[in-house]
Chain A
Amino acid sequence: MAAMTKKLRPASSWRRKLFMASFLLPTFVLFSVFTIYPLLRGLYLSFFDWSGGSETMSFIGMDNYKELFTDPIIPTAIANDYFLIFWKVILILLFAVFFAVALTRLKLKEYGFYRVVFFLPNIISVVVIGVLWSFIYNPSLGFLNAFLSLFTDTPVTTNWLGSAGSAIWSLLPPSVWAGIGFYMLLIIASILAIPSSLYEAASIDGAGEWKQFTTITMPLIWEQFKTSVIHITITTLNGSFIIVKLMTEGGPDNQTQVLGYYLYQMGFKQFHMSYGATIGVLILILSLLTTLILQRILHRETIEM
């Protein structure tokens, strides 16, 4: 018996390894081809001068990175990116948590209906959202000005997407509106996982809804909340490109420029593909740094239920 197990072990461990490899290897290969390779390729390109169309490219060392520091548009783009992150995190999570708590704790009859309504923007393509909101903002034919004009004597002709003061603010409502539903579902899921006995005990002890929210709900959904903050941050840094491309193309005069769109503009419209790759590296570094910092700031002791 003992001899048998001894004999079996190497074979079974080989089998086990093969079994694991059959899952890990394809994943790893795909990950390497579609994530690691483009990442390294981007990094490699950033040391060259390449238009994106020619057969040859010349090595220029750190010149693209030096250029990053002298380019006046880069600070604007970074500022705009963090402006969007700041307000998106605050507004999306404010609404998402509010709706999630309202739908789960207040035991609304129309729970299912609201859940679908709030999630609806998430299943609409971002392209549709961008075009839709461009129509809403249209200064002479748009819904927003027509609506505001109901309350004023003279027609409102504010150019929301075209004025220096309002352009970047105008990108917020569509982004926030499109984001609430998803994070609301995440938070609903984690609220539903909280044992109702905790709430019952709390109310017996005389804790009101607000007290229950701050001492039971928030601490117990904190992990989910933290994940949401970081996810919004990363997706904004990488994905605000879409809404900018659709609504303003970074204009007027770079007032809504973000790194993602600037990368595209440099790479594909101004024919500096390698400089675009350098901006990509910058986005990667900023994403990593921001995530690390947020991890530190948002860190709490895990509460075991």
Chain B
Amino acid sequence: MKSKLRKKVTGGLALSLVLLALSGCGGNSANNNNQASESPSPSSSAAATEAPSGEAKISGDFEIQYFVGGYGDAWWKEMIGEFKAMYPDLNIKESAGSQINEQMKPRWIQGDPPDVVYIDGAGSNETQMVQDDQLMDITDWVKDAQNVDGENLVSNLIAPPQDYNGKNYTIPLVFGSWGTFYDAKLFEDKGWTVPTDWDSFLATSEKIKAEGINPYIHTGKYPYYIVGGLLNSGFVSENGDNAQILKDQEAAKENSFNNDAVRKTLEKVVEMRDKGLIDNASFGMNHTDSQMLFLQHKDAMIPNGLWLENEMSKDTPEGFKFGFIPSVMQNAGGKYVAIPYTSNIAIAKKAKNPEAAKAFIEFIFTKKAAVRWAELTGALMNVKADLETSSASDVVKTAMNYFNGSDTIVAPVFKLNADLEQAQNDATIALLQGTITADEWIDRMEKAAAKVRG
């Protein structure tokens, strides 16, 4: 009797311990198996016949991490398939998905990163990855690197690799620009002139307002839309078209926010606010909602990025036409300023197969791949390629014409430190709400920059 009970009790105890151990194991292994899937066997026979370039010592395991968002994964699957066909000895592992940044984070922290990482989507920030010493210094390699077609990799790029105190860690893969989108069909119907500078922007806006339509809406919940599409271009224009101001702000330099260029830009924003040209609905509104109002002709203009047309393709009403201007803040006779955004690709500092990683980058930065990118995603890859004949969207082609024209300055790629960006978002919304003045905006930013400098 006694021993029977004891048996039961110890049995129960053992069982619970086993369960406990199992749950512990589950937690651990979940960290390491992030949706990894073996790459599909190459399907494209055209790629298979391509001759491997010279010494084919690229082999072993190769892991690539890429975020899957608005651009989908079709391009990645195609590229990886062709790459695998070129190097059959390579065992390619894809860690991909919409939550991949969070899923891979434990591995980055433990020093077990993938070889190549495409930095995009929520929870990713290339500046932070550089600060955290996670990415490989590719300065020496990238300046002479050639793509598989034998062309110089860097000279093919629209935006060069981002500069971090003279060093390169990332290469922009996706290129785009912020700007002002307008309701082209509505503009045509009503006979409004498309703004070419600040004065014509104000004049057109007044006309739009007189018709009972809101001239301008922005994504108030995420103020970086209006910062990217309006303020930043103003900073450059008012700085005598010198985009160095943005790089100074990126470096959190003293007085990079406290200067006349910034002050004059903010005064323009205040003028716009006080004239009631900004839809009051903007505040607190997310991107989808603000874009829906634009598509429903309730608002005539919206600051946004080149992804807009694709993003809203399912909700765009019949006959709606997107118009795009890089900037509206330039003074009469001034040049357009295109503020670029990029999503970058990088090699991990602790990559286990850096040779394969470099080979992969050389493989994807080709004109052919850029055309495929445009066709599969509707967006621009960061390689100068002829898109006129491709199926890229009209807005993207219009934008490309602006970038190639002499009337447009394309600012260098820059990204504010996360703290500065947050401060700028908060201050800009407060300025638009009228709860702070332009001087207070400047004051806040200078303080935030001082804190970043430490």
B-binding residues in A (CB < 8 A): 11, 15, 18-19, 21-22, 25-26, 29-30, 33, 51-55, 138-141, 157, 159-164, 167, 248-249, 251-254, 265, 268-272
Contacts A30-B20, A249-B221 given; does A140 touch B426 at CB 8 Å = no
Closest to A265 in B: B422
Q: Tell me if B105 counts as interface (CB < 8 A to partner A).
A: yes
Write the nearest CB–CB distance from A264 to chain B, whole angstroms.
Answer: 12
Contact present for A18 and B10 (CB under 8 Å): yes
Chain A residues, CB < 8 A from B6: 15, 18
**Stretch from B125-133, B237-245, B407-415 contacting the other chain:** B125-133
Contact present for A270 and B109 (CB under 8 Å): no
Contact present for B9 and A18 (CB under 8 Å): yes
Chain A residues, CB < 8 A from B283: 159, 161-163, 252
Q: Tell me if B99 counts as interface (CB < 8 A to partner A).
A: no
Contacts A140-B281, A163-B433, A251-B429 given; does A53 touch B20 at CB 8 Å = no
Write the nearest CB–CB distance from B250 to chain A, whole angstroms.
Answer: 16
Chain B residues, CB < 8 A from A271: 125, 128, 418
**Cα distance A19–B8 in the bound complex, in angstroms:** 10
Contact present for A54 and B134 (CB under 8 Å): yes
Contact present for B13 and A21 (CB under 8 Å): yes
Closest to B281 in A: A139
Chain A residues, CB < 8 A from B426: 251, 253-254
Chain B 9-21: CB-based contact to A (< 8 A → 1; otherwise 0):
1101100110110
Closest to B290 in A: A140
Chain B 263-291: CB-based contact to A (< 8 A → 1; otherwise 0):
00000000000000001111111000100
Write the nearest CB–CB distance from B246 to chain A, whole angstroms.
Answer: 20
Closest to A18 in B: B9
**Cα distance A26–B131 in the bound complex, in angstroms:** 42
- From A11, A19, A53, A248, give the contact of B284 (CB < 8 A): A248
**Cα distance A103–B133 in the bound complex, in angstroms:** 63
Contact present for B433 and A252 (CB under 8 Å): yes
Chain B residues, CB < 8 A from A53: 105, 108-109, 128-129, 132, 134
Chain B residues, CB < 8 A from A54: 109, 131-134
Contact present for B430 and A253 (CB under 8 Å): yes
Q: Tell me if B213 counts as interface (CB < 8 A to partner A).
A: no
Contact present for B298 and A140 (CB under 8 Å): yes
Chain A residues, CB < 8 A from B166: none
Q: Tell me if B40 counts as interface (CB < 8 A to partner A).
A: no
Contact present for B16 and A26 (CB under 8 Å): yes
Please give me the 8 A-B residue pairs with the lowest Cβ-Cβ distance, nearest first: A162-B283, A162-B284, A54-B132, A161-B284, A253-B430, A139-B281, A26-B16, A252-B429
**Cα distance A186–B26 in the bound complex, in angstroms:** 36
Q: Tell me if B111 counts as interface (CB < 8 A to partner A).
A: yes
Contact present for B20 and A162 (CB under 8 Å): no
**Cα distance A303–B433 in the bound complex, in angstroms:** 54
A-binding residues in B (CB < 8 A): 2, 5-6, 9-10, 12-13, 16-17, 19-20, 24, 105, 108-111, 123, 125, 128-129, 131-134, 220-221, 223, 279-285, 289, 292-293, 298, 418-419, 422, 425-427, 429-430, 433, 435
Write the nearest CB–CB distance from A55 to chain B, whole angstroms.
Answer: 5
**Cα distance A22–B2 in the bound complex, in angstroms:** 16
Write the nearest CB–CB distance from A70 to chain B, whole angstroms.
Answer: 10
- From B13, B133, B433, give the contact of A164 (CB < 8 A): B433
Contact present for B110 and A55 (CB under 8 Å): yes
Write the nearest CB–CB distance from A7 to chain B, whole angstroms.
Answer: 12
Closest to A158 in B: B280
23 cross-chain CB contacts under 8 A = A15-B5, A22-B9, A26-B16, A26-B20, A51-B132, A53-B109, A53-B129, A54-B132, A55-B111, A138-B285, A139-B281, A140-B293, A141-B289, A141-B292, A162-B285, A251-B425, A251-B426, A252-B220, A252-B430, A253-B433, A270-B418, A271-B128, A272-B419
Chain A residues, CB < 8 A from B129: 53
**Cα distance A163–B298 in the bound complex, in angstroms:** 20
**Cα distance A251–B427 in the bound complex, in angstroms:** 11
Write the nearest CB–CB distance from B379 to chain A, whole angstroms.
Answer: 24
Contact present for B419 and A270 (CB under 8 Å): yes
Write the nearest CB–CB distance from B287 to chain A, whole angstroms.
Answer: 12
Write the nearest CB–CB distance from B437 to chain A, whole angstroms.
Answer: 13
Write the nearest CB–CB distance from B317 to chain A, whole angstroms.
Answer: 15
Write the nearest CB–CB distance from A258 to chain B, whole angstroms.
Answer: 15
Contacts A22-B13, A30-B20, A251-B284 given; does A55 touch B429 at CB 8 Å = no
Write the nearest CB–CB distance from B163 to chain A, whole angstroms.
Answer: 21
Contact present for B9 and A15 (CB under 8 Å): yes
Contact present for A138 and B109 (CB under 8 Å): no
Closest to B19 in A: A26
Write the nearest CB–CB distance from B118 to chain A, whole angstroms.
Answer: 16
**Cα distance A51–B125 in the bound complex, in angstroms:** 12
Closest to A140 in B: B281
Chain B residues, CB < 8 A from A167: 284
- From B10, B220, B422, give the contact of A162 (CB < 8 A): B220
Chain B residues, CB < 8 A from A33: 24
Write the nearest CB–CB distance from B295 to chain A, whole angstroms.
Answer: 12
Contact present for A248 and B221 (CB under 8 Å): yes
Write the nearest CB–CB distance from B7 to chain A, whole angstroms.
Answer: 11
- From A19, A55, A249, give the contact of B109 (CB < 8 A): A55
Write the nearest CB–CB distance from B189 to chain A, whole angstroms.
Answer: 21
Chain A residues, CB < 8 A from B223: 251
Closest to A256 in B: B284
Contacts A54-B132, A162-B282, A162-B283 given; does A253 touch B429 at CB 8 Å = yes
Chain B residues, CB < 8 A from A254: 426
**Cα distance A140–B298 in the bound complex, in angstroms:** 9
Write the nearest CB–CB distance from B409 to chain A, whole angstroms.
Answer: 31
- From B17, B24, B422, give the contact of A26 (CB < 8 A): B17
**Cα distance A269–B283 in the bound complex, in angstroms:** 21
Chain B residues, CB < 8 A from A11: 2
Known pairs A26-B19, A51-B132, A253-B433; list 10 more (Cβ under 8 Å).
Answer: A11-B2, A19-B9, A22-B16, A26-B17, A54-B133, A139-B280, A159-B281, A159-B283, A162-B284, A268-B123
**Cα distance A162–B290 in the bound complex, in angstroms:** 13
Closest to B299 in A: A140
Write the nearest CB–CB distance from B67 to chain A, whole angstroms.
Answer: 15
Contact present for B12 and A269 (CB under 8 Å): no
- From B284, B298, B435, give the contact of A159 (CB < 8 A): B284
Contact present for A157 and B280 (CB under 8 Å): yes
**Cα distance A251–B428 in the bound complex, in angstroms:** 11
Write the nearest CB–CB distance from A72 to chain B, whole angstroms.
Answer: 10
**Cα distance A298–B125 in the bound complex, in angstroms:** 48
Write the nearest CB–CB distance from A36 to chain B, whole angstroms.
Answer: 15
Chain B residues, CB < 8 A from A265: 422
Contact present for A51 and B289 (CB under 8 Å): no
Contact present for A22 and B110 (CB under 8 Å): no
